[in-house]
Amino acid sequence: MKIFFTCFVALLLGASASAQSGGRWQSLFNGKNLNGWTAKITGYDAGDNFAETFRVKNGAIVTAYDGYDQFNNRFGLLFYERPFSHYRLKIKYRFKGEQANGGQAWAWRNSGLMIHSQSPQSMGRDQDFPISLEVQFLGGDGVKERPTGNLCTPGMHVEMNGALVTEHCIPAKAKTYHGDRWVKAEVLALGDSLIQHIFEGVAVISYSKPVIGGEVVSKFDPAAKVDGTPVAGGYIALQSESHPIEFKKIKVMELDANGQPLRRNKK
C-alpha cells in the first residue's frame, strides 16, 4: 500500500505540473547556433567541440560524426551555460541516420538528457560521463520492444519508494518509439524531493534524493565525486553516444520551492 500511495502521489504531482498554464517558458536553444552551450567530449577540454560533433541544422541541435574515422569512445555532452534546481523542462528528439563507425552495440539509437549534472569545467579531460542523472532516450528497431525514458545514474544513487537504489539503469514504464519520429520528453525536477521523466504526456518513472555515489564513471577529478553528497540541482546536457540524434524545442520553466512557476521566466 505504501509503495502504491507514493507512486500515486508522484504521478498526481507530475500530472498537475504538466497541466499548469500560468508559467512562462524560456527557450534554451535559439534555433540558429550554439550560443549558451558548451561541449565536453572525452579526451578534449571543455569547450572543444571536436569535429563539430554538435552543430545546428534545420533549426535543431544535431550530433554528427562525419569528422570521425572511428568513434573510439569519444562520448560527448553539450551543456547549457547555467544550472537549474526546480524546473520543468521540455524537449523533442529523434534518431536519424546510421551509427558512427566503432560505436558500442548498446549505443545504437541510444542517447539522453543529463540533469543535476556536474559542470563541464569540473570534468576530467578523459572522463567518460558526467556525474549526473540521465534521462535515457532509446529508439526501437521496428520490431522489438525497447522502452525509452529509463533512468541511468553515472556516479549517483537515488531513492525510489523510500529505498536507496544503486543499480546503474532503472527501467521506466514507457513505450517504444520506432523509426525517425519526433518524441516529446519532459522532466519535472523539484530539487531533490521529486524528479519525474514524462514522455508524450505520461509520467514513466519517479524518484528522489539523488546523492553522489557508485560507479559507471571514470577518470574523474576526485574532488568532484565525494560519495554521499546530496544533489539538489545541476547542469542540463545533451548526449552524444555515437548514434546521430536531433534535439529541438528545448524549453525550461523555473519553479519555486513549492513547485509554482517563478514570475521572472520569459518566453
Q: Is the pLDDT assigned to residue 61 strictly greater than 60? A: yes
pLDDT in tens, 174-217: 999 999 999 999 999 999 999 999 999 999 999 999 999 999 99
pTM: 0.90
Q: Alpha carbon 52 to chain centroid distance?
A: 20
Q: Alpha carbon 206 to chain centroid distance?
A: 14
pLDDT in tens, 216-267: 999 999 999 999 999 999 999 999 999 999 999 999 999 999 999 987 644 4
Interacting residues of 220 by C-beta distance below 8 A, sequence separation 6+: 123, 124, 127, 131, 155
CA distances from 109 to 47, 52, 53, 103, 227 (A): 25, 20, 16, 11, 31
Q: Alpha carbon 132 to chain centroid distance?
A: 9
In this structure, what C-alpha cell is assigned to residue 69? 574515422
What domains can you pick out in the chain, each with its CATH number? 2-254 (2.60.120.560)
In this structure, what C-alpha cell is assigned to residue 224? 568532484
Strand 183-190 to 133-138 pairing = unpaired
